[in-house]
Chain A
Amino acid sequence: MIALPPERTALVQGLRADLAIEPLKAIFDQLGQTEPLVAPAHGDMHATNVLVRHGDAILIDFEKLEEHYPLTYDPASLEGGLVVEGFIEDLKKKRLTPKKLLSMISPLYEERALKMGQSTFCRPGDPTEWFFNAVNQIRALSWSAERVPGQYALTLAMCLIRKGCNSHPELRQKEPNTLRAIAFFLGQKILRAMSPTTATTSRGRKRRSSGGRQ
C-alpha cells in the first residue's frame, strides 16, 4: 500500500483533501471491476521520456515495458506527468501560486470534463492554456482506449494519486512538493466524483467545490 510522504501531508491538508489512502483504494477497486483493453505499454510514459523532433514523437527508456497492460495507462501517465512536471518553473519563479494554478486547471478534472468526447477550455491567454490544449488532445486520442466509459478517468485518478505519493528522495531537490500534492488532490477529486456511494460522493463534492473556489 502506498502512502503520502510526511512532508506532503500538510500541503494536502491545506487543499482540504483526505490523507487516508484506504477509502480511495476501496472506491478504485469498486469501480475498476471492468474489462480493460490491453496491449503492450511503455509503462513509464512521463513527459521527459517522450522526445519531439520535427513533430515526431520519439520514445525512450523502455525499462518498464509491459507486454499486456491497459491501453489507458500510457496516456493517463502522460497527462499525470504534465501536471507534476509542467509547472515546476512557474511555481519556482512565482509566476503562479499553487492556489491560482489549481483553480485554473481544476475544470479539467470535473466529472463532466472526464466524460468521453468532452473538451474543456480555459480563457485565452491564461498561463495554463498550453496545458489545456495538451490535455484535451491526449484525452481526445485516448477515449478509444476505453472498453467501458470511465476507465480513462479511473486510470488517470490512480496515476495522479501515485504521483502524489511518490517519495523518491531525489524528487525533493528537483520539484516543489506542491505539485505532487495537487496531483494527489486531483486524483482524489476524480475518484470521489465517480464514487457511486452517496456518503463519499457528498464529501467528495464538498471537497471539489471548495477546491474549485480556491
Chain B
Amino acid sequence: MMELRFQDGDASRIVAELVGRETERCAILWASHVALSELDRLVVSRIEFPTDDNYSDRSRISAQLKPDFIAQIGKRAARENLSAIFVHSHPGPAPPEFSEIDDEGETHLARFMSVRAPHTVHGAVVVSAGGWCARRLGEKIPMRVVSVGPRLQVLFDAAGPLGSTPLKFDRQVRALGSAGQKYLESLTVAIVGLGGTGSIAAEQLAHLGVRKFILVDPDRIETTNLNRVVGARVNDVNRHKTDVAADMIAQITSDPECKRVVGDVTRTAVARELRAADFIFACTDSHGSRAVIQQIAYQYLIPCVDMGSIITARAGQIAGIHGRVQALAPGLPCFTCCELLDSEEVRRDMMNAEERSRDQYIQGAHEPAPAVISINGTVTSMAMTMFLAMMVGVPSAARHLIYDARPPPRCEPFHSPAIRIAMFAPREAFLRGEICSRCSRGTTDMAIREFSPEGTPRAKIAFVGEVPSSGDLQRFVERKITWDPADANQPVTLDQLRDPDYIAKLDAVIWTQDRDNLKTLPKDLLEVGPRLLDHDVRVYVRLVTDDQQTAMPRQVIINQLRKGLLPTANLRPDEWQTVPENLRERENAFLLPCVYIIDTSLSWGDIAALVCDRPAGPSPKMDLQFDEKAFLARFGPEGHEERVMLLKRAFWNCSELQLISIDGGLSGAPVFKAYASLEAGLVQQGVTGAYPHLYFAKIGPRKKIIDEHDQYCGHIFEYVPFYLGPRLRRDRCNLGTTQGILVGDFVEGAESLISCARGGRCGHAIANLFDKTLGGWRKQQRVDKEFSLAAYLDKNGASRDKAS
C-alpha cells in the first residue's frame, strides 16, 4: 500500500494555488520515502510551485511542464534521494480521476524518473474542487492521501470504507459512524510503554476495534506492577509486558496483528519500528523516550498522544495528583515549547502555585514513584478520547489537558465536592524552528489559575532599597509578578508600607540592606515588619557584604529580628541553635509568613522564583464586620491588631462574623464559636440573607498553634474517625508574627459529656469514646520498657498541671 502524508497547512496551500484557476496548474511535492514491508509512505517535506516560465503549455483542461524543468526535478530527486510527487489540477467540482491523457503523459514521466532517480518511488496527484486522487507514478496503484494536524484527515483512500462493521461495534458506530469505525480498524497503533497507562490504552484500543498494534516495552512484569498493569495476572510475573499486552488484546479482538518489540525506544532500531504506525501512544515515564517519540512524531508526521500522571507525596501524605495528556502533531506545541523535557519542570508544571510553594521535596531520579490505577485510568481515558478526536473527528478540541484530582488547597468553597476535575483547557501554542515555529512562555500558563476560586492573587511586590535592573525585573514579569507603579522602577517608601490598604494587596517585600547605613534596615524592619507579616506579606531581606567582608551586616539583622521576635527563615545552623526553645518551629524548613534571609549570591532570577513559589494567601477582608469590642475585651489590648488581622485573613471571603467565646479560658488559647456569613457569590442569598456557616476558631501564640496544627496532621486526621473529631479547615488556618489561628468545622448539636452523664445517657458515648473515637490510637499500644509509669506521669507534670 502507498500513502502520502503532509502537514495540515499543505493541503490548503495546494488547493489555494491550483484549484479554481483559469488554467490547470501543477505543483511538485518533495517527500521522503519510508519503505516498510507492507507500506510505502511518502512524507512531504517541501512544496514547489512551478513559475509561469516552467510551463510549455497551459489551458483550461491541460498543463504541461517544460522538459528542462522536468530534467531539473529528476536531477534533484537523484541528488537528494527524494521522492517527487507531481500534482496537477482538474477543473470542475467533480471528484477528480486520472484521465487517459494523464496516463499517457505519466508513462513517459515515470520512465524518465525511474532512470534518473531509481532508488525511490514517485507519485502523481490530481486535485479538484471535488477532492483528491493519487497513485504511484505511472502505475495504477492508488495512494492514500493523509493530512496530519491537530486533526488527521484522510483526503483520498481508494480502499474506502467497504463492507459492514461487526455487530459488536453497533453502539460505537452510532457515535463514530461506519466510516470512522472502519478507519479505526484499519489503523496501526503503536504503544510505547505497556505499564500503568500503556496497558490500559491497549485494552481500550482493542475494545475500540483497533486490530494492528506495535507494542514496545523493554521490561518484564514485576510483582509491583500487578496493582496497575491491566491484563497482568499473578502468574504473568516475569513475562514480557509486550507478550502480556498482546495476549490481552487477543482475548478482546479476533485475529489481531501485534508486533512485539522488546526494547528501549531510545535505541534507534527500536525507534525505527514506530515508523509503521499511524498513531503513537507515548506511555513512558522517561524524558529520553519522550524526546525520541517527539522526533518521530514530527519528522514522520505521525500524530502522537503523550500522557503522564504524577502523585506527589510528602511525609506519607498525598500532596497532589496530577495528570497531563498532550497531543503532538504539526500545528501543536512540542515538549520543548512546553518546557516539558526537564524532569523538575514536568513535575512543577503539573502543580498549582500553592502546591509548589509547599513542595520542597524533590523526588529522586531512581526512586519508584507512587502509582495508582484509577489515576492512570483517568489519564488514559482522556488520552483515548483525544485520539478519537484526532483520528475520527470526535468533537473535542482539547489537545493539551491538565488533570488535577485535588481541589486547589486554598479553595474549598462550601459547595464544592471533595474531588473534582479542576480544569480542562486546550492550550494554544505554535510550531518552532524545524519542529516548532514559535515557543511562547506566556501560552504555557495554565488556565487553571484564572478559574481557581482562590480569591484575587496578590502577585504584587515592592522593593525597598535597591530595585533590580530592567533586565532583572523581567524575571518577575515572566512570572506574572508586578509592582506599583509598574512603569517606574522606584523603591517603595516606609510610609507606603505603613498603609494597611497598600500592604493588603502585597505579595512580598524585597528589602536590600544599605551598605553605607547598616542600621537603617533593622530599625525599619522592626517598625513595619510585624505588620507586614500579620498581613501575610512575605519579607525577603537581601544582605550586603561590607568592605571587610565581616559578619556585621548579617549580625545586625539577625539580632534585631530576634529582638522583635520576628519569625526568621534560612538561618544558619549556629544561628538556629540560639533561637529560644519556645520559638523554634522548623529546623530545616520554615512556616510562612516569615522574614527570609537571602544571601548576597542569590540572583534576581532565583529571588523571583522564590517569590513566585511562595505566594501569599488571599488578601485579608479589610471590611469584615464583627464585634471588635467584645474581641478586645476577651484578649486585652496587647496584640489586638494582629489578632484582628488573623481573623480577617481566615475569613477572607466572608462579610460578617459573629464570635461567641466558648472555652473555659484555662489553656491560653481561647476558642470561639464563629458564625461566618459568606460573601455573595459563594452562597445563594435567600430572602433571609446569607446562611451563616459555623466554625470554631482558636487563637493563640504562634508556636502553640503550630504545635496543635502538627498534632492534627500527625495523629488526628489519620486515626480519629472523621466524624468523631474536629475537622480543621486548613485553608483558613494561618499565622501572624507572634500569634496564629486554627479554624475548623464546629461540632454542632452536641452536648458535653457531663450533662449527658448526669442525665444518665452517657452509656453509648463512653463505650464509643474508647472503642471508636480512641480506637485508632489504642490499637497502636505497646509496652514501654524504657520508662516506668511514674516516670511518664511525672515527666510533664508541671506543664500538664495547668489545665487538668
Tell me whether B777 is interfacial, beta carbon within 8 Å: yes
Interface size on B, residues (CB 8 A): 72
- Indicate with 1 or 0, residue by residue over A96-130, a CB within 8 angstroms of chain B CB atoms: 00000000000000000000000000000000011
In the complex the two chains form, what is the Cα distance from A40 to B714 in whole Å?
A: 11
Tell me whether B411 is interfacial, beta carbon within 8 Å: no
Complex interface: stretch among B43-51, B163-171, B779-787: B779-787
Give the secondary structure class of A's interface: mixed
Tell me whether B415 is interfacial, beta carbon within 8 Å: no
| Pair B793/A158 contact, Cβ less than 8 Å | yes
Which residues of chain A are near B793, meaning CB under 8 Å?
28, 32, 70, 73, 155, 158
In the complex the two chains form, what is the Cα distance from A155 to B797 in whole Å?
A: 12
CB-defined A-B contacts under 8 Å, sample of 23: A28-B793, A29-B794, A32-B791, A32-B793, A35-B783, A35-B789, A36-B792, A37-B784, A39-B777, A41-B777, A48-B664, A51-B751, A57-B768, A58-B726, A68-B784, A70-B789, A72-B789, A73-B792, A86-B757, A130-B759, A130-B760, A162-B804, A170-B666
Which residues of chain B are near A168, meaning CB under 8 Å?
666, 802-803
| Pair B754/A58 contact, Cβ less than 8 Å | no
CB-based nearest B residue for A150: B789
| Pair B801/A134 contact, Cβ less than 8 Å | no
Q: B-side interface residues toward A, CB under 8 Å? A: 664-667, 669, 671, 696, 704, 707-708, 711-712, 714-716, 719-720, 723-726, 747, 749-754, 756-774, 777-785, 787-794, 796-798, 800-804
Which residues of chain A are near B802, meaning CB under 8 Å?
166, 168
Tell me whether A75 is interfacial, beta carbon within 8 Å: yes
| Pair A52/B762 contact, Cβ less than 8 Å | yes
Tell me whether A61 is interfacial, beta carbon within 8 Å: yes
In the complex the two chains form, what is the Cα distance from A162 to B800 in whole Å?
A: 9
| Pair B778/A39 contact, Cβ less than 8 Å | yes
Tell me whether A10 is interfacial, beta carbon within 8 Å: no
Q: Which of B667, B761, B763 makes the CB contact (< 8 A) with A137?
A: B763
| Pair B747/A51 contact, Cβ less than 8 Å | yes
| Pair A60/B759 contact, Cβ less than 8 Å | no
CB-based nearest A residue for B782: A38
161-199 of chain A: CB within 8 A of chain B:
162-163, 165-166, 168, 170-171, 174
Q: Which of A47, A73, A145, A155 makes the CB contact (< 8 A) with B757?
A: A47
Which residues of chain B are near A73, meaning CB under 8 Å?
792-793
Interface size on A, residues (CB 8 A): 75
- Indicate with 1 or 0, residue by residue over A63-95, a CB within 8 angstroms of chain B CB atoms: 111111111111101101010011000000000
Q: Which interface residue of A34, A39, A52 has the most chain B CB atoms within 10 A?
A: A52
| Pair A51/B753 contact, Cβ less than 8 Å | yes
CB distance from A95 to the nearest CB of B (A): 12
CB distance from A213 to the nearest CB of B (A): 27
CB distance from B673 to the nearest CB of A (A): 12
Tell me whether A43 is interfacial, beta carbon within 8 Å: yes
CB-based nearest B residue for A158: B793
Q: Which 7 pairs between the two chains have the least Cβ-Cβ distance?
A: A32-B790, A55-B764, A57-B769, A51-B750, A53-B750, A50-B753, A39-B781
| Pair A62/B667 contact, Cβ less than 8 Å | no
| Pair A52/B756 contact, Cβ less than 8 Å | yes
In the complex the two chains form, what is the Cα distance from A34 to B761 in whole Å?
A: 36
Q: A-side interface residues toward B, CB under 8 Å? A: 2, 28-29, 31-44, 46-48, 50-53, 55-75, 77-78, 80, 82, 85-86, 129-131, 133-134, 137-138, 141-142, 145, 147, 151, 154-155, 158-159, 162-163, 165-166, 168, 170-171, 174
Which residues of chain B are near A155, meaning CB under 8 Å?
789, 793
Which residues of chain A are near B762, meaning CB under 8 Å?
52, 130, 133-134, 137
In the complex the two chains form, what is the Cα distance from A48 to B667 in whole Å?
A: 13
Which residues of chain B are near A58, meaning CB under 8 Å?
723-726, 747, 750, 773
CB-based nearest A residue for B746: A60
In the complex the two chains form, what is the Cα distance from A72 to B802 in whole Å?
A: 20
Q: Which of A52, A60, A162 makes the CB contact (< 8 A) with B765?
A: A52
CB distance from A131 to the nearest CB of B (A): 8
Which residues of chain B are near A62, meaning CB under 8 Å?
708, 711-712, 715-716, 725-726
In the complex the two chains form, what is the Cα distance from A186 to B711 in whole Å?
A: 33
CB distance from B794 to the nearest CB of A (A): 8
CB-based nearest A residue for B778: A39
| Pair B754/A32 contact, Cβ less than 8 Å | no
CB distance from B733 to the nearest CB of A (A): 14
| Pair A32/B789 contact, Cβ less than 8 Å | yes
In the complex the two chains form, what is the Cα distance from A44 to B796 in whole Å?
A: 12
| Pair A35/B785 contact, Cβ less than 8 Å | yes
